[in-house]
Structure 1
Amino acid sequence: MSLEPRGITTRKAVGALLRKELLLERRVPQVLPAMALFSITTFVVFRFALDATSVEGDTASGVLWVTLLFAAMLGAGRLYVADHEEGGIDALLLAPVDRTALLISKAVTFLVFLVLVEVVALPAFVILLLGPGLSPGDIAALALVLLMADVGIAVIGTLFGALAIQTRARDLILPLMALPLLVPVIISAAKASAPLLAATGADSLPGRYLALLGLYDLVFGLLAYAVFDYLFDD
């Protein structure tokens, strides 16, 4: 039996689900405003809590990534809520398409959300906290680190969001399961970002941390694709 019809159906399902997710967020914004507001508020809290007008290097990198991580957990917790409450997941399970279409569409949607939040959060971070300025080269290098880390966060958030949504304590279960697995992402991203945020001038990106982020994205992306189908089995 040819696999081509199934592949076409999966691609169409992913496209339809992705359009639905983005259109829903556009019409009734819920996730993006919450994540963006959380990020900016956290930067304000850090500014006063650290009792410093500016931060740099390792401290700046740590503040940035801790804030983005918890903003991401806030978004991941809302990723499946509308589908769960309105029967969207049940409808998809009854449709003749691969369940992994839901994984791909949710992961891409979440990745888009993360990027859009960072477009707002990063300028706020620079204005409120960052001591040294960022050159265009620094911004491009930091954008690369952000994107590679966002892929890992999106995969883990999507995978464990699907698992947590089936429990009563989903707001508690999701961070308890996801945060330990995201430790390598945050450490690698923070180490890679620190030289770019140093007051002495940006150094070159540490290649080993970028390689670690790339390996993490690949391994957990394949793992999520392999196990997602079984998360909704009774």
Structure 2
Amino acid sequence: MRPTMVLLRKDLLLERRAPESVPAMMLFSIVTFVLFHFGLGRDEVDGSLAAGVLLVTILFAAILGINRLFISEHAEGGFDGVLMAPIDRTALFLAKATALFLFLTLVELVAVPAFAILLLGPSPWGALPGLLVTLALLNAALSLVGALVSALAIQTRSRDLIVPIVGLPLLVPALIGAARACAPLLADGGASWPAAKWLLMLGLYDLVFGLLAYAVFDFLLED
């Protein structure tokens, strides 16, 4: 875990000294909610529509972060450094996935309140614990798949196209599960906790894709 923590610290320091990904993701989320606010012609949304607006916005904001996840390694020879270092190469994957998870969490600390102010009528705070658990599971899915797809795309000339083309189909099951879990929470007078089956589905997705990404990342780095 020590190489993972060193690589993670490097990514967090780079983002702190020259913020790029997190501000862009935050701005994209807020602007998208403003567009939905005026584009839908409604002051309030709830239920499935609210869940769809929130989660799709988070998904596309995550794409911005995924596209930039391996920029420093690609531009400054970081891949060669990891290949030559006497460490487990999957430490780079774990560091990138963790960094993306933290970036998404920071974005949601701003995006979720903005969404509640701009588009939600009833107060969502009673269902906040269930919403936080669902978003954490979705963030894990976005981070694991995003780190793998970003490593694949960074070696190509069309990385800005490869990430959505490859990543979005892989993330469809996670998005469906998160939307089904969030819809009752965001409904007027809805549930205070998501259905267990959707949380289990998200957890299983995270486990399967996490193990798959961990297994193939070493070979992907070699190529």
Specify the TM-score bucket, using the shorter chain as the normaliser: over 0.9
Is the counterpart of residue 210 in structure 1 residue 199 in structure 2?
A: yes
- Which residue number in structure 2 is paired with residue 200 of structure 1? 189
TM-score in terms of structure 2 length = 0.98
Gaps of 5+ in 1: 1-10
Instruction: Please list, as runs of the form range in 1=range in 2, the aligned pairs for 1:110-125 lying within 5 A after superposition.
Output: 110-125=100-115
Q: Secondary structure at the match of 1:195?
A: coil
Identify the match of residue 133 of structure 1 among 123, 139, 159: 123
Is the counterpart of residue 155 in structure 1 residue 144 in structure 2?
A: yes
After superposition, give the CA deviation of every residue in 1:62-81 in whole Å (9 maximum; x if it has no partner): 00011000000111000001
TM-score in terms of structure 1 length = 0.93
- Which residue number in structure 2 is paired with residue 226 of structure 1? 215
Give the count of matched residue pairs. Answer: 223
- Which residue number in structure 1 is paired with residue 90 of structure 2? 100
Whole-Å Cα distance in 2 between the matches of residues 54 and 202 of structure 1?
A: 18
Whole-Å Cα distance in 1 between the matches of residues 202 and 42 of structure 2?
A: 31
Larger Rg: 1
- Which residue number in structure 2 is paired with residue 27 of structure 1? 17
Identify the match of residue 174 of structure 1 among 155, 158, 163: 163
- Which residue number in structure 2 is paired with residue 60 of structure 1? 50
Identity, in percent, stands at 56
The answer to whether the Cα contact below 8 Å between 2:181 and 2:195 also exists between their aligned partners in 1 is: yes
After superposition, give the CA deviation of every residue in 1:136-185 in whole Å (9 maximum; x if it has no partner): x4111100000011101100000000000000000001110000010001
Deviation at 1:203, TM superposition (A): 4.8
Whole-Å Cα distance in 2 between the matches of residues 203 and 143 of structure 1?
A: 12
CA RMSD of aligned residues (A): 0.9
Deviation at 1:200, TM superposition (A): 2.4
User: Would you identify which runs of 4 or more consecutive aligned residues in structure 1 move more than 6 Å?
Assistant: none
The answer to whether the Cα contact below 8 Å between 2:127 and 2:193 also exists between their aligned partners in 1 is: no
